[in-house]
Structure 1
Amino acid sequence: METLLLGPDAVEDATQWPAVVEAVGDAFAAYACGDAQMPAKSYIDLPQYDGDFRSMPAYLDAEGWDGAGVKWVNSHPENPEQFDLPTVMGTMIYSDPETAVPLAILDGTTLTRKRTGAAAAVATDHLAVADATSLGLVGAGVQAGAQLEAIATVRDIETVVVADKDADAVAAFADAYGDRFSVREGSIAEAAACDVVSTTTPVTDPIVARDAVGDHTHVNAMGADAEGKHELADVLLLDAKVVIDDHAQCTHSGEINVPYAAGTLTDADIHAELGDVVVGAATGRTDGDGVTVFDSTGLAIQDVAAAHVVYEYARKNDVGTAMELVATE
């Protein structure tokens, strides 16, 4: 059986945003219903290279399909300067659960960007006001585009306010998306006042204040992925309906990790995990809600869901390169 090799361009070509958002929503539902297996990330520390490897395996049984896979991802901060390579790279192996045949080997970096955007879209669909038309982006890096593309599948976004200290990055973003949306540069406060705001920065000192956020704004906190990272003011988190992707990951390395470790924010301040909201075991946005926050750390089930969609599209539309990786007996 052939295995598809899908590089960055192929993953980009094979990503159909509505399908990826739907699949990631199905993954959260499967996780909430006990129809997924997702062992904790495992780490290999390499201090001699100032880097590490992480493995993220998962299996999920979703509506109409099941899939398994593992993402092998690194963090080598010296790569750009010393080797002209990215700090973070990922490779995803997507497998047939029944036979264990590797159906595809995918660029995990592009896949991660896509599934992260899709997670924010799932959260936005359940937690943002139904008539949301404005999106604030705090951070104009590569994830900002994925946030816009994905969220625009669940809300009729018209206006985009982008806040970033790098004016060139904002200009590049406007060039990329200005033909489809009304994009303008703004302050963090202006971005945070939108109907929906996504934060994608690596800061350790909060940059989004409570009084900057609109009365009924939904916030996707996407930037925190390690201990100490923290984008939103504690008082904002305490005043909001907080939904997380996974309790263990978020309390360790998500947006809530700093106030949770300090005891400022407790389990009583966490409304639910997103999967419970998706399946209706916990409420999404209600008429009485003010600010809502989604704390996203990124889950391996999202990678499997996105890989499934990309693989199926690629297989049907002759995207990627087929190779014989498994010898048949």
Structure 2
Amino acid sequence: MKTLLLDSDDVDENTRMADVIQAIEDAFAAYEHGNAQMPAKSYIELPQYNGDFRSMPAYLDAGEWDAAGLKWVNVHPDNPADHDLPTVMGTMIYSDPETAFPLAIIDGTALTMKRTGAAAAVATDHLAVEDARSLGIVGAGVQSYTQLEAIAEVRPIEEVVVSDVDDERVQRFVDAYGDEFDVRGGSIAEAGHCDVLSTVTPVEDPIVSPDDVGEHTHVNAMGADAEGKHELADDLLLGATVVIDDHEQCTHSGEINVPYAEGVLTDEDIDAEIGEIVVGEREGRTAETGVTVFDSTGLAIQDVAAAHVVYAQAADEGNGSPFDLVGVDE
């Protein structure tokens, strides 16, 4: 029995975004129903290297399938300049829950991008207006691409406005999607007045104010993944319907972490967890709903769900590179 090695190209080749979106929704439902185990994300701080490691284990039982895995990921901001390496790298170990056999070692960086886009799509499907046709993106880095790829699966997106301080990144994004969408660069306010807005920046000083969004815009706040990060102004959060992915992670390192720590925003200002909406315990968008915000920190159950999709497709198609990790006879 062999373990599959799946690099970033294999992840791309074996990812059907619609399948990942469904798997992420299944994962949110399993978590809400208590059919998942997800210990808190643990950190190893490395100030001497201006970086850290994060470990994210999880198991989930989605009914028709179950899965387990661990993502080991770093954030080292000095890597590009000092070592010609990415700031963030990840490795996913995907295991058979019944036997613990390591079914696959998967590039966690590409997997993270896919599942992050899919999580935004799940939230958009429940919280955006039904006829949403425009998408704004603030931050034209690598995460922006799967935001469009995934959200276009759940809404008939036609117009895309992308905003970034780096004009070259904006142009690369426009060049990548200009044949599929009416896509252009624009200001934060132009992006924010679209039907859906995804923010994917690492900022610590808010860059999106209430005036920068429309009356019924749905905002996917995807950028905050560490304590101190904060993309949306406090008064925007306080005036919106706020939906989170997980209380512990969001209050520690999500979009709401700064105002929550300061007491500006409390549990009373959090309307629901996304799992509650997915399973029908809480309402998503209604006719009376104004601005909505999804605070996404990225959960280990999402990585496991996405790995399940990628591995199943690769195994069915005979893709990837099998190797003998454990030393078990065929």
Deviation track 1:86-136 (CA, whole Å, cap 9, x = no partner) reads 111100000000000011100000000110000000000000000000000
> Aligned partners of 1:262, 1:167: CA distance in 2, in Å?
35
Partner residue, 1:86: 86
Deviation track 1:2-32 (CA, whole Å, cap 9, x = no partner) reads 1110001111111110000000010000000
> Aligned partners of 1:142, 1:75: CA distance in 2, in Å?
15
Letter in 2 for 1:202: P
Q: CA deviation at 1:46?
A: 2.6
Q: Is the partner of 2:154 in helix, strand or coil?
A: coil
Letter in 2 for 1:35: N
Letter in 2 for 1:86: P
Deviation track 1:53-106 (CA, whole Å, cap 9, x = no partner) reads 111000000031000000011122222222111111100000000000011100
Partner residue, 2:194: 194
Q: Does 1:238 align with 2:246?
A: no
> Aligned partners of 1:48, 1:257: CA distance in 2, in Å?
25
Letter in 2 for 1:293: V
Letter in 2 for 1:96: D
> Aligned partners of 2:188, 2:77: CA distance in 1, in Å?
27
Q: How many residues align?
A: 329
Q: Does 1:255 align with 2:255?
A: yes
Partner residue, 1:155: 155
Q: Percent identity?
A: 72
> Aligned partners of 2:278, 2:25: CA distance in 1, in Å?
7
Partner residue, 2:70: 70
Q: CA deviation at 1:44?
A: 2.0
Deviation track 1:281-317 (CA, whole Å, cap 9, x = no partner) reads 1111111100000000000000000000000111111
Partner residue, 2:270: 270
Letter in 1 for 2:28: F
5+ residue gaps in structure 2? none
> Aligned partners of 1:43, 1:196: CA distance in 2, in Å?
32
Q: Is the partner of 1:53 in helix, strand or coil?
A: strand
Letter in 2 for 1:103: L
Partner residue, 2:288: 288
Q: CA deviation at 1:185?
A: 1.0
TM-score, length basis structure 1: 0.98
Q: CA deviation at 1:328?
A: 2.5
> Aligned partners of 2:67, 2:318: CA distance in 1, in Å?
21
Q: Is the partner of 2:206 in helix, strand or coil?
A: coil
> Aligned partners of 2:284, 2:309: CA distance in 1, in Å?
26
Structure 1 residue ranges, 4+ long, deviating more than 4 angstroms after superposition: none
Q: Is the partner of 2:232 in helix, strand or coil?
A: coil
Partner residue, 1:112: 112
Letter in 1 for 2:196: V
Per the alignment, do residues 206 and 47 of structure 1 end up closer, same or farther by CA in structure 2, a change over 3 Å counting? Answer: closer
RMSD in angstroms over aligned alpha carbons?
Answer: 1.0
> Aligned partners of 1:136, 1:74: CA distance in 2, in Å?
28
Partner residue, 1:29: 29
TM-score, length basis structure 2: 0.98
Q: How does 1:122-133 map to 2 (within 5 A)?
A: 122-133=122-133
Letter in 2 for 1:316: D
